[in-house]
Structure 1
């Protein structure tokens, strides 16, 4: 029986993570030729190309995309096994690569990362903030925070909390345009829509008597950042649906008002998403446990 070429799988995972043979070689402290030969060896053994290579660009093939998750898992489990064999009292060290939505990451995750790195001086954190849907395996992330309905996938997702959406507008807008009394009234109003969802202009509500209503709204501004809606909201441009961590302060200050309080949009889940493997390096496990304990959502 031929054993798997674990070194080649690990080097393939490093190239995927760093998106470069050169950078992968630096991270692994080996030559670029060593990494290239290992990946070529793996391609020959699998009888498939893993990368499309040009002088300016390196991209995974379809086979490479399918196998990248396996490579990442092999790498992570190998690191976890080595750390498990070490003295359990050893100080945590190494890099943790974590993703999070932009505004939530700035307000809720960045302070936790700061506290964690202060208390663990040998751990470095690479925090990637983006509201775009990202492939955590292709990005080389150890975990990411997502606020979304999670589709079925090979990823592991732990729901940490519900994120409630508030329907809000400025007092000036409501005084000028009137206050909607029912979700169907929203069709006659100007709205601000979040684009990183499947149907930005379809708003769904559940209300009294188990009623469910879907309304198509007119979007004056469509944007991929909820926080970017705040200036337009304050100026009375329209109505928006936003979570508490974005509009909470504006509501408390009276800059915005919540409307249709008896009607609620289905909450999104706040999820901690990780690759399929249950084994993770101790530094990753420690940071994720810290976030779970302290997420404050």
Structure 2
């Protein structure tokens, strides 16, 4: 037969055997040969549309054929977004091996299947700088110890990244998410506080109501709306627009501007708790609750056949964050 059950791992073999059993050997060979040809063309062209044009078929037919092949093999070959189609780590190995020998193909299927049985390969992660340094250093180190066959590549930064195009396995994001077509799993949440420095309050006075904040200079996170939603002690809700003094896209800049009295700021509890405790910042309207609480999300390309290395990391991180960020 095309594949030897003594070499190919059981779940991959059974998927292909079932396909053969319900169709026939000739159909199986034709399906795989045609599918592999499509894989190579999509890899070369970078989109289903361009690959379809080169192959003389429709883009939906290309997409359907790739999905059927992924279902048969048991792993994702391409990550898809509305902007692009990019080979996964497993897909790169498959495409590289397609024009090689039969023995090499069987060996590759074995390795790719093993990735679903024990975590291995490269895990590339991106997370916000301040949050990553505060909450992710320990669980990432724990993960690396637990799974030595995984090479962890972690980047803490506050600039926007394109998960698929830049080859990340997952990214950690906080707050409101864009509708990107990616999968977002909520890991935990945390509260936010309105804070200002003693020097700022000495200059402007201490606000007693949300309305008094409207005319005060504010330090605002660049990727957030210039407004605040709140709930009063008697459960009334409201929204106020802010008067920006400075926009910043990093927690370090937000914190430094607030500490120096440039403006008041809405800050995550994990970032401002130390400064509140030592008096360098003062919490404003402490009896009001800022809404909604900020969600912490793991974002990844595809929920089908989520690689074990990613699933194990998400599980470990979810357990860690649930204990650390809800205070």
TM range (shorter): 0.7 to 0.9
The answer to whether structure 1 residue 207 and structure 2 residue 237 are counterparts is: no
Label 1:45 to 1:89 Cα distance change in 2 as closer, same or farther (>3 A): closer
The answer to whether structure 1 residue 250 and structure 2 residue 275 are counterparts is: yes
The answer to whether structure 1 residue 145 and structure 2 residue 172 are counterparts is: yes
Three-state SS of the structure 2 residue aligned to 1:131 is: coil
Matched residue, 2:253: 228
Contact 2:115 2:121 in 1 (8 A): no
Shift in Å at residue 13 of structure 1? 5.8
How far apart in 1 are the matches of 2:152 and 2:90?
Answer: 22
Matched residue, 1:264: 289
Matched residue, 1:20: none
Shift in Å at residue 136 of structure 1? 1.4
Three-state SS of the structure 2 residue aligned to 1:5 is: helix
Label 1:156 to 1:108 Cα distance change in 2 as closer, same or farther (>3 A): same
Contact 1:9 1:71 in 2 (8 A): no
Considering only CA atoms, is the larger Rg found in Structure 1 or Structure 2? 2
Spell out the pairing of 1:29-44 with structure 2 (5 A cutoff).
44=54
The answer to whether structure 1 residue 289 and structure 2 residue 299 are counterparts is: no
- Once superposed, what is the RMSD of the aligned Cα atoms? 3.6
How far apart in 1 are the matches of 2:143 and 2:239?
Answer: 43
Contact 2:219 2:244 in 1 (8 A): yes
Matched residue, 2:39: 9
Matched residue, 2:55: 45
Shift in Å at residue 257 of structure 1? 1.0
How far apart in 2 are the matches of 1:270 and 1:155?
Answer: 15
Three-state SS of the structure 1 residue aligned to 2:270 is: helix
Which structure 1 residue ranges, 5 or more long, are not aligned?
Answer: 17-38, 50-63
Q: What TM-score do you get using the length of structure 1 for normalisation?
A: 0.73
Q: What TM-score do you get using the length of structure 2 for normalisation?
A: 0.67
Contact 1:83 1:282 in 2 (8 A): no
- Deviations along 1:72-117, whole A, 9 cap, x unmatched? 49839x8xx8568449876x42101112112112221233222322
Q: How many residues align?
A: 257
Spell out the pairing of 1:106-145 with structure 2 (5 A cutoff).
106-145=133-172
- Deviations along 1:144-191, whole A, 9 cap, x unmatched? 111022354532211122221110011222133211111110122121
How far apart in 1 are the matches of 2:128 and 2:44?
Answer: 25
Label 1:256 to 1:132 Cα distance change in 2 as closer, same or farther (>3 A): same
